[in-house]
């Protein structure tokens, strides 16, 4: 029996506080960011068709081709802010034509020679995952035409995962009734809410599966069987089989089809280009995509102190959460809930993974930019693995991420805090030209740290910031007149 779907489907890297919450999914209300940030040197491969899932009402393709049918679909503004979610306890499917009937026979999919690329994030973990994952509990279809039969009497073409979520498969059948089935597979170890770039290439001389830009397996024998026109006339499905039962249970983004096999160099190029904006940094963060820092979750701390520390605005709800596993290299949010309050939104979450005894910074921004370090991030507080926290947020939208305890410089600011909030390099100088430590500015709420900050006087007490530092006074509290001194000629001046 398939376990009950968890209500805390943790799509938690991006959280809308104009939130529409359906079956535990949180949807962001921001739109259009990806369209504003297209790089000029995108690979020049021409696809047959593509689906960015921007149209979550009619589910038209990027070429504005309408689907044949769909039901029980939802969407999320995660990934690149537009993701199809096929994850329902009821039958759910999204069906498209192979050959468009009213667009001069435009072709959306070729089954004998071509390529398919897509991004997929499961709502499950692989069964052999150290967290006790259970997989999709059925053969979850990523993309499929036709139907499997034991004697290959109909015709089938499918990219799918097994019930334990431990293997990715491509299979094909013709309709010869002889039981002939072509299959190639590669092992996977996927984690909940973790996007992967999946590529299938196929021809008569080779079939290859790529995962996150790297070749996972290939068959130089090539593909020799595929479904006929009678099967293809019924279209193909994204995220399920034709009955809507064998669902992939996860998010789909940026699905592309080609009528020729992509070579390995092109696949390696497409992977970083399609992740150019860092929009696929889900929870846990894909380390190949994480553009802030490569710090692991349990770094050695240089000096044992942290200037920006403590609960901050977080409120501890529970520690030692039952069933939560720590002692891992990845750390992420889960069990996310959002409730509207008079003052905004009360957001609750559990920090999972990571290392026991370490404190992880929680950061938020109301508008995600590229790169993420350009966003105006605020520090919410620190939390520990397997603990649940709540925080009140008043902004219309909030994007949350976790920062590790890594402090490269040893000056008391984590690399994540320096990069996101202070806007200084963790690898660069830790004091300005006046000798004021960046950690002092941060501890006194003077962030981001900009040029000329040392000679500003935000509290207008006559002492510039660098003088406040020298005399041990506070830059945001008027104290200047208490430290004036007399000069030899009897006048007073500011030191």
| Residues 20/74, Cβ–Cβ less than 8 Å | no
Whether residue 109 is found in the same domain as residue 194: yes
Provide the pLDDT for residue 278: 43
Provide the pLDDT for residue 135: 85
- Domain assignment present for residue 241? The answer is yes
Closest residue by Cα to residue 258 from 44, 42, 49 = 49
Could you identify the residue written with the tokens 């999320």? 76
What is the per-residue pLDDT across 199-246, written as a single tens digit (0 to 9) for each? 999 999 999 999 988 999 999 999 999 999 999 999 999 999 999 999
Whether residue 23 is found in the same domain as residue 42: no
| pLDDT band with cut points at 50, 70 and 90 for residue 80 | low
Weakest-pLDDT range from 69-83, 161-175, 435-449: 69-83
Provide the pLDDT for residue 51: 95
Whether residue 263 is found in the same domain as residue 184: yes
Whether residue 10 is found in the same domain as residue 38: no
Whether residue 263 is found in the same domain as residue 357: no
> For residues 121 and 197, what is the distance between their CA atoms, to the nearest angstrom?
9
- Domain assignment present for residue 135? The answer is yes
Of 406, 422, 438, which residue sits at a domain end? 422
Provide the pLDDT for residue 231: 96
- Domain assignment present for residue 460? The answer is no
- Domain assignment present for residue 248? The answer is yes
* Three-state secondary structure of the chain: CCCCCCCCCCCCCEEECCCEEECCEEECCCCCHHHHCCCCCCCCCCCCEEECCCCCCCCCCCCCCCCCEEECCEEECCCCCCEEEECCCCCCEEEECCECCCCCCCECCCCCCEEEEEEEEECCCCCCCCCCCCCCCCCEEEEEEEECCCCCCCEEEEEEECCCCCEEEEEEECCCCCCCCEEEEEECCCCCCCCEEEEEEECCCCEEEEECCEEEEEECCCCCCCCCHHHHCCCEEECCCCCCCCCCCEEEEEEEEECCCCCHHHHHHHHHHHCCCCCCCCCCCCCCCCCCCCCCCCCCCCCCCCCCCCCCCCEEEEECCCCCCCCCCCEEEEEEEEEEECCEEEEEEEEEECCCCCCEEEEEECCCCCCHHHCCCEEEEEECCCEEEEEEECCCEEEEEEECCCCCCCCCCCHHHHHHHHCCCCCCCCECCCCCEHHHHHHCCCCCCCCCHHHCCCCCCCCCHHHHHHHCCCCCCCCHHHHCEECCCCCEECC
Whether residue 256 is found in the same domain as residue 343: no
Whether residue 19 is found in the same domain as residue 58: no
Residue 177: CATH number of its domain: 2.60.120.200
What is the per-residue pLDDT across 153-181, written as a single tens digit (0 to 9) for each? 999 999 999 999 999 999 999 988 888 99
Which residues are CB-contacts of 35 (< 8 A; sequence separation ≥ 6)? Answer: none
Check whether the bond before 214 is cis (ω within 30° of 0).
no
| pLDDT band with cut points at 50, 70 and 90 for residue 37 | very low
| Residues 417/442, Cβ–Cβ less than 8 Å | yes
Provide the pLDDT for residue 395: 73
Number of domains in the chain: 2
Whether residue 5 is found in the same domain as residue 51: no
Weakest-pLDDT range from 7-21, 72-86, 136-150, 207-221: 7-21
Provide the pLDDT for residue 344: 76
| pLDDT band with cut points at 50, 70 and 90 for residue 134 | confident
Is 90 exceeded by the pLDDT of residue 375?
no
What is the per-residue pLDDT across 414-430, written as a single tens digit (0 to 9) for each? 888 999 999 999 888 99
Whether residue 24 is found in the same domain as residue 124: no
Region 434-455: mean pLDDT is 92
Structural domain of residue 10, as residue ranges? 1-30+309-422
> For residues 110 and 257, what is the distance between their CA atoms, to the nearest angstrom?
8
| pLDDT band with cut points at 50, 70 and 90 for residue 76 | confident
Provide the pLDDT for residue 93: 96
Region 24-28: mean pLDDT is 25
Neighbour-count burial for 454-474, b at 16+ CB within 10 Å, e otherwise: beeeebebebbbbbbbeeebe
Whether residue 219 is found in the same domain as residue 331: no
- Domain assignment present for residue 461? The answer is no
| pLDDT band with cut points at 50, 70 and 90 for residue 482 | low
- Domain assignment present for residue 246? The answer is yes
| pLDDT band with cut points at 50, 70 and 90 for residue 1 | very low
- Domain assignment present for residue 129? The answer is yes
């Amino acid at each position: 029996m398939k376990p009950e779907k968890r209500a805390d489907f943790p799509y938690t890297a991006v959280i809308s506080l104009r939130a529409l919450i359906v079956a535990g999914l949180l949807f962001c209300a921001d739109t259009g960011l990806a369209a504003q940030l297209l790089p000029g040197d995108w690979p020049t491969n021409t696809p047959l068709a593509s689906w960015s899932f921007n149209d979550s009402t009619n589910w038209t393709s990027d070429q504005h081709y309408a689907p044949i049918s769909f039901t029980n679909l939802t969407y999320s503004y995660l990934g690149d802010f537009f993701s199809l979610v096929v994850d329902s306890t009821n039958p759910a499917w999204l069906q498209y034509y192979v050959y468009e009937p009213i667009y001069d026979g435009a072709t959306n999919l070729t089954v004998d020679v071509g390529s398919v690329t897509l991004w997929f994030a499961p709502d499950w973990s692989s069964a052999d995952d150290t967290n006790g994952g259970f997989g999709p509990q059925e053969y979850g279809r990523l993309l499929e035409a036709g139907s499997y039969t034991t004697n290959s009497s109909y015709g089938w073409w499918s990219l799918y995962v097994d019930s334990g979520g431990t293997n990715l498969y491509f299979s094909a059948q013709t309709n010869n009734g002889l039981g002939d089935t072509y299959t190639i597979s590669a092992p996977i170890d996927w984690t909940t809410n973790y996007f992967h770039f999946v590529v299938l290439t196929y021809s008569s001389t080779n079939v290859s599966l790529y995962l996150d830009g790297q070749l996972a397996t290939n068959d130089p024998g090539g593909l020799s069987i595929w479904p006929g026109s009678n099967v293809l006339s019924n279209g193909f499905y994204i995220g399920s089989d034709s009955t809507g039962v064998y669902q992939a249970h996860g998010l789909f983004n940026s699905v592309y089809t080609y009528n020729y096999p992509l070579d390995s160099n092109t696949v390696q190029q497409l992977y970083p280009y399609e992740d150019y904006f860092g929009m696929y940094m889900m929870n846990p963060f894909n380390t190949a995509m994480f553009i802030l820092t490569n710090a692991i979750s349990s770094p050695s701390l240089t000096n044992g102190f942290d200037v920006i520390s403590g609960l901050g605005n977080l409120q501890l709800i529970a520690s030692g959460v039952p069933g939560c596993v720590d002692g891992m290299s990845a750390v992420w949010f889960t069990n996310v809930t959002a409730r509207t309050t008079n003052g905004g939104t009360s957001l609750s979450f559990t920090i999972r993974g990571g290392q026991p005894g370490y404190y992880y910074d929680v950061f938020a921004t109301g508008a995600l930019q590229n790169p993420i370090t350009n966003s105006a991030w605020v520090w919410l507080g620190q939390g520990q693995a397997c603990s649940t926290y709540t925080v009140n947020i008043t902004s219309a939208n909030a994007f949350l991420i976790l920062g590790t305890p890594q402090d490269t410089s040893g000056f008391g600011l984590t690399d994540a805090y320096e990069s996101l909030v202070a806007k200084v390099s963790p690898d660069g100088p830790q004091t300005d030209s006046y000798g004021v430590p960046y950690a002092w500015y941060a501890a006194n709420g003077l962030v981001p740290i900009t040029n000329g900050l040392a000679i500003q006087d935000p509290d207008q007490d006559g002492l510039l910031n660098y003088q406040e530092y020298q005399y041990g006074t506070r830059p945001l509290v008027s104290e200047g007149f208490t430290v004036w001194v007399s000069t030899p000629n009897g006048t007073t001046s500011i030191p």
